[in-house]
Structure 1
Amino acid sequence: MSEAGLEHRGPGRDGRGRGRRAAEGPAGPHSDVPPPLAPTTTEAQPLEVVVVTGLSGAGKLSAGRVLEDLGWFVVDNLPPALLLPMVELGARGDIRRFAAVVDVRSRAFSSDLQEAIRVLAEAGHRPRVVYVHARDDVLIRRYESVRREHPLQGSGRLIDGIGAERELLTGIAGEADLWVDTSDLNIHQLRATLENAFVREGQTPPLTATVLSFGFKYGLPLDADLVVDARFLPNPHWVPELRPRTGQDPAVRDYVLGQEDAEAFLDRYTDVLRLLVPGYRREGKRYLTLAVGCTGGKHRSVAIAEEFARRLSADGVAATAQHRDLGRE
């Protein structure tokens, strides 16, 4: 947001006494006001700040959750008066990207929010405003589906509350950096819109894959997205010298991966994963769990899981192998 036209703040308006005359220079000879602390002890780094606002029912909370998934520190229903103190508190810690959902739940907030954003820019932070809106018919349908009253409806009709909110938001809507119309968007499309706007360097968030080995006799992993059955391969359990070892042992790994059809199976399923991964990314999926099972989760599934993780990593997917049932025997 441009800093042109920023208003001058009066003394003491920023809640920390920074506007006091005593903080602007050395105190006079008869002043009992202590000198300010050295800048090295109070200096706070500027933050990237996103303020999510807009019409009730348009999807502000969903937008906040998307930003949280993208690594932003998000606060919901923050009164405008607390925006600067919260940002500066975060700036003194390890928070570098801060987002706040601010709306009419704070009631007379529009002019206060515009002023709070100006003060943030004046303090050296980088505030941006995301304005989330939708058509009246869509908002009415959403409110009727959840049977909730509009915050500004009062004793009137639902459409009256929506109209009053639109009028109240006119000022801040005109200053927004990004408008998002959710009338015809699903949650995945909303996520894609915000990712394109706020992910660093315009890159899509990486897909993180966990390749999990398990034993069928201990039950299927409940969080698995995909399940692979490695029991078609000969079981090293019946090879006396391999029985006490695990799939992480080179001898067991070579035995499993050297079986007939093992290489073809790995190649073809890797091709399937190469087809699925871009689709998962387009749909906003951030985490993938590929479960590989054998009878006990000790030999075949462990070796195959390690190989899948290696291949996924080679294809640019952040993949790790984990072994749920290793050591249970």
Structure 2
Amino acid sequence: MTEAMSLTPVKPTESELLVVTGMSGAGRSTAANALEDHGWYVVENLPPQMLTMLTELVARTPQSIPKLAVVVDVRGKEFFSDIKASLDGLRSAGVHHRVLFLDADDNVLVRRFEQGRRPHPLQADGRILDGIAAEREVLKELKQSSDVVIDTTKLNVHALATAVTELFSDAGPIVLRLNVMSFGFKYGLPVDANYVADVRFIPNPHWVPALRPQTGLDAPVREYVLGAQGAGDFIDKYVDALVPVLDGYRRENKHYATIAVGCTGGKHRSVAVTEEMAKRLAQLPGVQVSSQHRDLGRE
């Protein structure tokens, strides 16, 4: 094992460093994606020797990358032997860090590799099990010294993402970002919509001369649309119906959803209802809401 690279001591900062490692096939990519969804800056497949340089760079400007996650694995076999020296170097320099180790039973790892139709990085001309055995030997000491070990044997990708979120997110419950979008049916359905609401049952302000040149963002049109019979009741019940859906999205680690609200031209009714629906949805816990008007301004 070579000596750890020198690291210039840095002043204590609020930056966090998380080293993500573990058995190939145990879910490092899933963990990395979950961390990225919660504000971590993720660097994958970094040679261990570069840990100290990267940490020093981030420590100089901690406000730019307050949470750094580095994924290292045995694919760089000639580099991985330096991982312990690199971590010891961070510790000696006073750089606070944690190590997350992902593991799973051999039979589960074999099945995952077979399903992915990819060889194990250490199996060479042998079997997948040979590669797994070799990797376990290389990682044995690192696993024993890790701060957190997650056994993913019985976890699917959603359950693993939830576990990582609960351990390493300081934002509390998973935040779901909703985009509520108005559109005009005559211009086609939004291709990225998860749900589509049709508000063409509301009387069309287009046929009111004083309202025709205005949009759903203007108070007279908004009052006309939201005051129409059944409009308020529709919005209330639609938002209520979405509550269990949004809860399910969180359980499945789905972080983004688009709700499209359509009328004929996307100028009056859908715009007013979109704004009101976004306002109601924003009152739900753990939800961040934005509104967008795709067809506003089109002739």
TM-score (norm 1): 0.85
Runs of at least 5 residues in structure 2 that lack an aligned partner in the other structure: none
Contact 2:5 2:86 in 1 (8 A): no
Answer yes or no: is 1:55 the counterpart of 2:27.
Answer: no
Deviation at 1:145, TM superposition (A): 2.2
Deviation at 1:285, TM superposition (A): 1.6
2:68 aligns to what SS in structure 1?
Answer: strand
- With 271-280 and 126-135 compared, the bigger mean Cα shift is at 271-280
* Percent of pairs with identical residues: 51
Q: 1:76 aligns with which of 44, 57, 63?
A: 44
Deviations along 1:232-288, whole A, 9 cap, x unmatched? 111111111111110111111111111111111111112112222222122212112
Hey, what's the Cα distance between the residues in 2 that align with 1:269 and 1:146?
Answer: 40
2:75 aligns to what SS in structure 1?
Answer: helix
Contact 2:23 2:136 in 1 (8 A): yes
Hey, what's the Cα distance between the residues in 2 that align with 1:224 and 1:87?
Answer: 40
TM-score (norm 2): 0.93
Answer yes or no: is 1:283 the counterpart of 2:252.
Answer: yes
1:104 aligns to what SS in structure 2?
Answer: coil
Hey, what's the Cα distance between the residues in 2 that align with 1:289 and 1:217?
Answer: 19
Deviation at 1:324, TM superposition (A): 0.5
Runs of at least 5 residues in structure 1 that lack an aligned partner in the other structure: 1-9, 20-41
What's 2:32 paired with? 64
5 Å-filtered alignment, 1:19-98, equals 45=13, 47-93=15-61, 94-98=64-68
Deviation at 1:300, TM superposition (A): 0.3
Answer yes or no: is 1:220 the counterpart of 2:189.
Answer: yes
Answer yes or no: is 1:211 the counterpart of 2:150.
Answer: no
Task: Name the Cα RMSD after superposition.
Answer: 1.8
What's 2:88 paired with? 118
Contact 2:179 2:258 in 1 (8 A): yes
Runs of 4+ in 1 over 6 A off after TM superposition: none
Distance verdict in 2 for CA 1:277–1:147, change over 3 Å: closer
Q: 1:101 aligns with which of 57, 66, 71?
A: 71
Contact 2:20 2:101 in 1 (8 A): yes
Hey, what's the Cα distance between the residues in 2 that align with 1:281 and 1:68?
Answer: 16
Deviation at 1:72, TM superposition (A): 1.0
Higher RCO structure, 1 or 2 (CA under 8 Å, sep 6+): 2
Answer yes or no: is 1:194 the counterpart of 2:164.
Answer: yes
Hey, what's the Cα distance between the residues in 2 that align with 1:164 and 1:117?
Answer: 22
5 Å-filtered alignment, 1:148-163, equals 148-163=118-133
Q: 1:261 aligns with which of 199, 224, 230?
A: 230
Hey, what's the Cα distance between the residues in 1 that align with 2:169 and 2:278?
Answer: 26
Contact 1:110 1:171 in 2 (8 A): no
Deviations along 1:177-207, whole A, 9 cap, x unmatched? 1112222211111110000000116x12311
Deviation at 1:65, TM superposition (A): 1.7
What's 1:169 paired with? 139
Hey, what's the Cα distance between the residues in 2 that align with 1:230 and 1:215?
Answer: 10
Alignment length, in residue pairs? Answer: 294
1:61 aligns to what SS in structure 2?
Answer: helix
